[in-house]
Structure 1
Amino acid sequence: MRNTTTALSLMALSFATVAAPVIVPDPPAIGAKGYILMDYNTGTVLVEKNADNQLNPASLTKLMTAYVAGQEVKQGNIALDDQVTISQRAWARNFPDSSKMFIEVGTQVSLNDLYRGLVVQSGNDAAVAIAEHVAGSEDAFVSLMNSWSSKLGLSNTAFSNPHGLDSNELYSTPRDIAKLSQAIIRDLPQIYPMYSELSFTYNGITQYNRNGLLRDRSLNVDGMKTGYTSGAGYSLATSATNGDMRLISVVMGSSSTKNRESESKQLLSYGFRFFDTISPTKADEKLSEVRVWMGEQDNLDVGVSEDVYLTLSKGALSNLKAVLETQGDLTAPIRKGDKVGDVIYVVDDKEVARTDLVALNNVEEGGFFKRMLDWVKRLVASWF
């Protein structure tokens, strides 16, 4: 079978020509023990250092606590308006020198309030109360945390409690925290807006979100979470947008609150300044027609089944092309969604990404005389 290849530039279809190339400088060098800058849509890593080193996540642990509880809400096992009875173990007085939302034993608190106490106030007491409500005990909840960690591919992460206080069995990495942050934004859109709330009042006590970048007007930050213990140092997972581009930064083991914010801002600013995330190909958009043999019709519309996102340096956008490569001669019947080849994205003759080329419609098998005619045509074509 012959392999048919069609070249196609998507520049005119999907984005404007860039007037001049942009030189990408070296990324900022910052002082945190480990850090990463990742594009949300594509997972492309723009900057990293010690991104796979196992570090103490401190209250970044609460990202997984929030994720597990959010999945339970999503699946209908619990609800945000559930009333949770606060146990002795979840009592605020058990955490005298750490962050808490000040819940009292025996009181009833809505899960919605506990969620805000967890996300906005970073309450260790809220983390325990949520864990007990979801799974019956902290230990059972920690088992859920580690199960979800495995499902999300967080290969260098282990949890031993729902709040993040120092423990030898508790560790994660900047890369894993970035992937977890990505999962929260993607999988829990009804929960994620809580991460941008600037304050929360409970029991007559107003506390302010410790993520100072939420109040930085030079960036459009809408989450995620701070972390600090004496063993972990200062950490910050941040997500910000610029147009259609969303970046996630994670710094772990910084030396101060001020530095973790400054370092995160440097990473995000670098990413937005020198890179773009574009969607050159949309789901179900016709890219081309390809020849089909033995079918009721001779041509098949082809495209992609999901929106394609690419993260590239701004200087590379003007040279982006796509090549459609079909899997040899195509023979009916063909069903909508069947893979018929690949879309290969190329910059300066270098492949930067590829995705499946799929059928956008059905092509039924042709009648006897149509199939005989196509057989003759294909035979004759093979001679040349």
Structure 2
Amino acid sequence: MSSRLLRRSSDRTGLSVSGLSRWCRAGCVGLAVLALGWGAMSGAHAQAPAQTVSSGLAGFSEPPPGMPPPPEIAARSFILHDLGSQQTLAVRQPDQAVPPASLTKLMTAYLVYQAVDAGQLRLEDTLPVSERAWQAAIGSGARALAAAGARLTVAELLQGMAVLGANDAAVALAEGVAGSVDDFVARMNRQAQVFGLKATQFRNPDGRAVSGQASTPRELAWIAVRLLTDFPQALTHYRQPALTLRGARHASTNLLLLRDPSVDGLQVAYADRLGYAMAATSRRPVGGSERRLVALVVGTPSAQARATETQKLLNWGYSGFDVVRLFAAGQAVSTAPVWKGSARSVPLGRTQAILVAVPRGQAARIQTTLTRQDPLLAPLAQGQTVGTLHITLGTQPWQTLPLQALEAVPSAGWLGRTWDAIRLGIQ
């Protein structure tokens, strides 16, 4: 593995102190005044929001051309994502419009865990199963989790939605979070916009087929990724192979939970135009560490085929790739010079480990290059994106990751800012 550094402007250079002093005797005062004005403009520019990579689908890209093809999967559409390396390993028709059906409940779960995290709800709080919630289950032909008028805890409703795909649980949670289904659906669509989803529109929290409710496999997979990333505690409910409630035991509708001990979620779905579909996630030990994959499979012919084809895709994702840790979490990838700051340099890196998945046996071909937004002008906030790490496999572009300042760099005093303004002007 090799690395090299590319810059968008030259390295930090300048006259020596003695050379600058001799030069200043020829008229440094006038330039100092000019430099102060220039420096004020530079400072204003430095405080503008830094350019960052979108947290939405911009980072959920197509696999590079050198990615090996997956095995034959008997499904209309699929997507496989490596959560640790943030790479998409395989796709087929990921942008076709589909009804989300019960995969809608991934967004419902996200908003419920968001409300719990914000202190709006507690898992032990009880919520009523309203007549509307009960009808959502009975009207769809699905099993109802409880009778109308019953009260269940938020945790029980979450587990019912995760294990059974219970529609009444989804509606009861929606009413408990937002006060009404309509207000909750508005939150769902606002969150879809925050995620950068362009083709997703929700009309209810449970996924029953209604006009205007639509998404794509790629966007549904992104909701699953965000649920796992932002609220990993959700797996406490999704990994359960069965639910025992009020003395009755209900088996999970996710057959993979019984077939593969590495699978610990997420949601299954069926609709006439969707076919049998599944969002699944699996975690397996690899070389002293662990890998988590997320798969979304759409358009299989049966519940058994849904489980079989999803497991085939997951197995290939583990067996066909090596994962290389390039840098640890918080480790400096590079150190960059800083102008007008209280420190002369800043380490660049990421708060999470930098991992890359490559076809098995090709790890030695990994190369890295770095581009920076030079000149870096203080103040710099910790976590501010100031560079990009480009990863290639041989000559094939493979992955691009933003790099952040690992430490904050406040502005220097007046003299330091003036000195650096002069030096930048000389360059």
Q: Give the shorter-chain TM-score range.
A: 0.7 to 0.9
Which amino acid in the other structure matches residue 104 of structure 1? Answer: A
* Equivalent position of 2:400 in the other structure: 353
1:273 and 2:319 aligned: yes
Structure 1 residues 175-210: Cα deviation after superposition (integer angstroms, max 9, x where no partner): 111101111111112323211011112233211111
Q: How does 1:55-134 map to 2 (within 5 A)?
A: 55-91=98-134, 95=138, 98-134=141-177
The answer to whether the Cα contact below 8 Å between 1:85 and 1:107 also exists between their aligned partners in 2 is: yes
* Equivalent position of 1:8 in the other structure: none
The worse-fitting range, judged by mean Cα deviation, of 281-290 and 170-179 is: 281-290
CA distance in 2, matches of 1:247, 1:258: 21
Q: How does 1:1-384 map to 2 (within 5 A)?
A: 3-4=10-11, 25-91=68-134, 95=138, 98-217=141-260, 220-243=262-285, 244-288=290-334, 300=345, 302-307=347-352, 308-325=354-371, 341-351=387-397, 352-356=399-403, 358=405, 360=407
Describe the SS at the equivalent of 1:76: coil
1:102 to partner: Cα distance: 3.4
The worse-fitting range, judged by mean Cα deviation, of 131-140 and 194-203 is: 131-140
The worse-fitting range, judged by mean Cα deviation, of 36-45 and 194-203 is: 36-45
Q: How many residues align?
A: 360
Which amino acid in the other structure matches residue 302 of structure 1? Answer: P
Shift in CA distance, 276/107, structure 1 to aligned 2, threshold 3 Å? same
Shift in CA distance, 202/347, structure 1 to aligned 2, threshold 3 Å? same
* Equivalent position of 1:13 in the other structure: none
Describe the SS at the equivalent of 1:144: helix
Structure 1 residues 105-148: Cα deviation after superposition (integer angstroms, max 9, x where no partner): 22222121111111112111112211222222222222222121
The answer to whether the Cα contact below 8 Å between 2:336 and 2:348 also exists between their aligned partners in 1 is: no
1:34 to partner: Cα distance: 1.7
* Equivalent position of 1:18 in the other structure: none
1:67 to partner: Cα distance: 1.3
Structure 1, unaligned stretches of length 5 or more? 6-22
Structure 1 residues 14-68: Cα deviation after superposition (integer angstroms, max 9, x where no partner): xxxxxxxxx9753123232221111223442221112111112221111111112
Shift in CA distance, 356/229, structure 1 to aligned 2, threshold 3 Å? closer
Structure 2, unaligned stretches of length 5 or more? 1-7, 13-65
* Equivalent position of 1:20 in the other structure: none
Shift in CA distance, 104/357, structure 1 to aligned 2, threshold 3 Å? closer
RMSD, aligned CA? 3.5
1:81 to partner: Cα distance: 1.5
Percent pairwise identity: 30
CA distance in 2, matches of 1:185, 1:192: 8
The answer to whether the Cα contact below 8 Å between 1:300 and 1:363 also exists between their aligned partners in 2 is: no
The answer to whether the Cα contact below 8 Å between 1:296 and 1:367 also exists between their aligned partners in 2 is: no
1:337 to partner: Cα distance: 5.8
Which amino acid in the other structure matches residue 225 of structure 1? Answer: Q
Shift in CA distance, 53/290, structure 1 to aligned 2, threshold 3 Å? closer
Shift in CA distance, 170/343, structure 1 to aligned 2, threshold 3 Å? closer
The answer to whether the Cα contact below 8 Å between 2:67 and 2:89 also exists between their aligned partners in 1 is: no
The answer to whether the Cα contact below 8 Å between 1:275 and 1:312 also exists between their aligned partners in 2 is: yes
TM-score, normalised on structure 1?
0.80
TM-score, normalised on structure 2?
0.73
Describe the SS at the equivalent of 1:191: helix
CA distance in 1, matches of 2:144, 2:110: 19
CA distance in 2, matches of 1:295, 1:230: 61
The answer to whether the Cα contact below 8 Å between 2:96 and 2:216 also exists between their aligned partners in 1 is: yes
CA distance in 2, matches of 1:35, 1:280: 28
